[in-house]
Amino acid sequence: MAEKLRLGIAGLGTVGTGVVRIVQRHAALIAERTGRAVEITAVSARTRDKERGVRLNAYAWEDDPTALALRPDVDVFVELMGGSDGPAKAATEAAIAAGKDVVTANKAMLALHGQQLAETAEKNGAVIRFEAAVAGGIPVVKALTEGLAANEMARVMGVMNGTCNFILTEMQNTGRSYDEVFREAAELGYLEADPTLDVGGIDAGHKLALLSAIAFGTQVDFGAVELEGIEKITIEDIEQAADMGYRIKLLGVAQMTGRGLEQRMSPCLVPATSPLGQLEAATNMVVLEGDSVGQIVLRGAGAGEGPTASAVMADVVDLARGIRVPTFGRPAQGLTKPTPARSSVPAPYYMRIELQDKPGALARIATVLGDAGISIDRMRQYGHVDPTAPVLIVTHKTSRSALNDAIAAMPATGVLASDPVAIRIEEV
């Protein structure tokens, strides 16, 4: 049997303790499947005496994660601290500089610094693996870098934040408002310390940027991801979408177009009968479309101790087997700097507009849409309550820029009772 593969784990929160449990519980199984023993030699966390429910006394302790990364008895640095900068980045850079492989679940760090870290790793003969950073237990990074490596990818799409999917499906299933379900998500511990990372689409945007880089051979460009959260979605939107045969999801889409690389994370209407439309609770789903394979749907738990720790260990097992793939599936020096698409591929849009109950109000809105080159597919009024008249409009395919121009012109009509809401209808 080959020499042992020795791990140093920085971060002993939910995921870190989950990794420890897997190594302790399945040491023999892992050795059988890799041909070498995998063991933990040292760990690091902010608090040494905290009760974590796992045995740690057999491992060396380092208060400083950088010191852990540089220990001579650590072959693979497992970074599970989180944070785009600070100790996580410093320790990762130290490990790479020492020629050590890194396994991380840190989507924010890679979304912001992935290109630099990947180039440095390759110069030093090191590998960065990050299956756990994208979709919890779903092996989507491995699918893109290995299983679909012979495909030219057409589109990557998915629901990549379980918290948002929980909120939207609970609204759908219970008829409760966004604020009510948001409070429940907070009580259940689903929300990040800064909730805007979840409901604002930032967390999912990080994941989309990483998958996009792998799929299209580009440098990670999180700054070009168009972000829109779910905060404006109302129970009325949920109900009206259902009446039309749709469900609302926070959907990430990345595709290479003639205008450049389109990356967006925003609420979309998807067919209720589609795999994405049927996705419930805090589950994730990623849809991959390749020129040879067609469409592949991957579904599973997007967070939690077990699924995320499983993804971490999948990377460790690959390293133990000697499988070494460039960080983003191809050499970092060869990744091109993407040209961001200035506008998204045209699509139909759902619009909810609350109008003042005045004669000719609807005609004025229709005129504004027509002046922007937007034609109406269907339109109806619902729930008329004086002094306002809510109106639902579904457009034919149009660009988001044209729609934005129309929305910007609507206040001048003098008939708006509140800001319009526009949600893309995505073909899936």
Which CATH number is associated with domain 145-301? Answer: 3.30.360.10
Kindly tell me the number of DSSP H helices and DSSP E strands found in the chain. 14, 16
| Alpha-helix runs per DSSP H in 124-259 | 140-142, 162-174, 178-187, 196-199, 202-216, 235-243
Q: Which CATH number fits domain 349-425: 3.30.360.30, 3.30.930.10, 3.30.56.10, 3.30.70.260?
A: 3.30.70.260
Report residue 42 as tokens.
């040292």
The DSSP call for residue 151 is S
Q: Using an 8 Å Cβ cutoff, are 38 and 30 in contact?
A: yes
| The 3-state secondary structure of 379-421, one letter per residue | EEECCCECCEEEEEEEECCECHHHHHHHHHHHHHHCCECCCCE
**Amino acid of residue 289:** E
Q: Is 3.40.50.720 the CATH classification of the domain at 2-133?
A: yes
The pair phi, psi for residue 299, each rounded to 5°, is -130, 140
Dihedral angle sign, alpha carbons of residues 335, 341, 345, 350: positive
Catalytic residue, chosen from 207, 249, 337, 397, is: 207
Q: Using an 8 Å Cβ cutoff, are 42 and 8 in contact?
A: yes
What is the full per-residue pLDDT of the chain (428 aa) written as tens digits? 579 999 999 999 999 999 999 999 999 999 999 999 999 999 999 999 899 999 999 999 999 999 999 999 999 999 999 999 999 999 999 999 999 999 999 999 999 999 999 999 999 999 999 999 998 899 999 999 999 999 999 999 999 999 999 999 999 999 999 999 999 999 988 888 889 999 999 999 999 999 999 999 999 999 999 999 999 999 999 999 999 899 999 999 999 998 999 999 999 999 999 999 999 998 999 999 999 999 999 999 988 899 999 999 999 999 999 999 999 999 999 999 999 987 788 999 999 999 998 888 999 999 999 999 999 999 888 766 668 888 999 999 999 999 999 999 999 999 999 999 999 999 88
- Domain residue extents for the chain: 2-133, 145-301, 349-425
Whether residue 89 lies in the annotated active site: no
Report residue 396 as tokens.
């034919």
Question: Which pLDDT score is estimated for 222?
Answer: 97
CA separation, residue 399 to residues 18, 57, 312, 348, 377 (Å): 45, 59, 40, 8, 15
Non-local (6+) Cβ contacts of 116 within 8 A are none
β-strand pairing of 376-381 with 283-290: unpaired
Place of tokens 């608090």: 47
The residue count for the chain: 428
Question: Which pLDDT score is estimated for 173?
Answer: 96
Question: Which pLDDT score is estimated for 388?
Answer: 84
Question: Which pLDDT score is estimated for 384?
Answer: 65
Q: Using an 8 Å Cβ cutoff, are 45 and 67 in contact?
A: no
- Residues 412, 415: Cα–Cα separation, whole Å: 8
Query: Is the bond preceding residue 326 a cis peptide, omega within 30 degrees?
Result: no
Question: Which pLDDT score is estimated for 422?
Answer: 94
Question: Which pLDDT score is estimated for 383?
Answer: 63
CA separation, residue 76 to residues 39, 194, 297 (Å): 10, 30, 31
